[in-house]
Amino acid sequence: MAYFTLEPKRRREDFYDMEDELNDFVSSLSKFRFIVVRGLRRYGKTSLILTGLNAADVKYLFLDCRLLRSATSSFDSFLSIIEAEVSKKSWARRLIRNIDYFEVGGVIKFKFRRPDVLLGIFENLGDAVVVFDEAQELRNLKFKIDGFLAYALDHLGIRIVVSGSEVGLLHKFLRFEDPEAPLYGRPHKTIELRPLTREAALDFLRRGFEQEGVDVSDDLLDEAVKNFNGVIGWLTYFGYNYARGLRSMDPIIDAAINMVLAEVKHFLETRGLGGS
């Protein structure tokens, strides 16, 4: 068991609290073909999804859409993310053998760079889960991905999970309530992640430091919870650094502030309001 690790959690024993949300996600995998996981950055969305998928023992592709964070993201860029993920999964490689591809350094590269290739990939995946992490970035594609997702739900067997930290942009991208949108009226399950309560945040830090074999004062824990407001990602980052001798909270607070400022700038730029 290790709470203070920086990579996303993948095992239930490393995933603190959020049992209700985790159980809800796992059970929803057998009830819904479209699941939306929402919550701000560092709330634990990726850990919830990966832990839940592993707990459910399902085959999945995990697509990190942050790699598309550009106003000019191309379909080829999106296909490259899929190629990299398929290359890691032997079961996926077996299922797409009927699609023309070659390999470069162990990474699959599809011969043709067209939407029908994407359709062929997903057709071959059966009922596997395809995760679009930070899915709001897909809106930059010069390809109507929402229409493709609607087609997949109607005609293919894959299950779809989307997550997003910029909740307003995710809502605008999915447009579940817009009668003219491709995904309008589609049955889906939404799971919302929130910060830990003060009591849970204190318990998380205490347990994490016990795992690390580090003694800390209640005053230090109170200060950390006050500064990081129950956001489990920042609490983890603080615990990881403190346990390794980096005792000042200031760099972590600065990093959190800079991340928020970057998100605000990105939000404004998507609306043509960002200054140079």
CA angle 18/24/30 to nearest 5° reads 145
CB atoms within 10 A of CB 131: 23
Q: What are residue 62's phi and psi, to 5 degrees?
A: -115, 110
- Compute the radius of gyration of the chain from its Cα atoms: 20
Which among 126, 70, 66 is positioned nearest to 94, based on CA atoms?
A: 126
Q: What is the pLDDT of residues 200-234, one digit of tens each?
A: 999 999 999 999 999 999 999 999 999 888 899 98
Which among 190, 192, 212 is positioned nearest to 44, based on CA atoms?
A: 192
Q: What are residue 128's phi and psi, to 5 degrees?
A: -60, 160
Q: Quick one: pLDDT at residue 168?
A: 65
Domain annotation for the chain: domains and CATH numbers: 18-192 (3.40.50.300), 198-269 (1.10.8.60)
* pLDDT > 90? residue 102: no
What percent of the chain lies above the pLDDT cut of 90? 49
Q: What is the pTM of this model?
A: 0.87
Q: What is the pLDDT of residues 235-275, one digit of tens each?
A: 998 899 889 887 777 877 777 667 665 665 655 555 455 55
Name the strand (E) or helix (H) holding 110: strand 107-110
How far apart (Å, rounded) are the C-alpha atoms in residues 259 and 166? 12
Q: How confident is the model at residue 276 (pLDDT cuts 50, 70, 90)?
A: very low
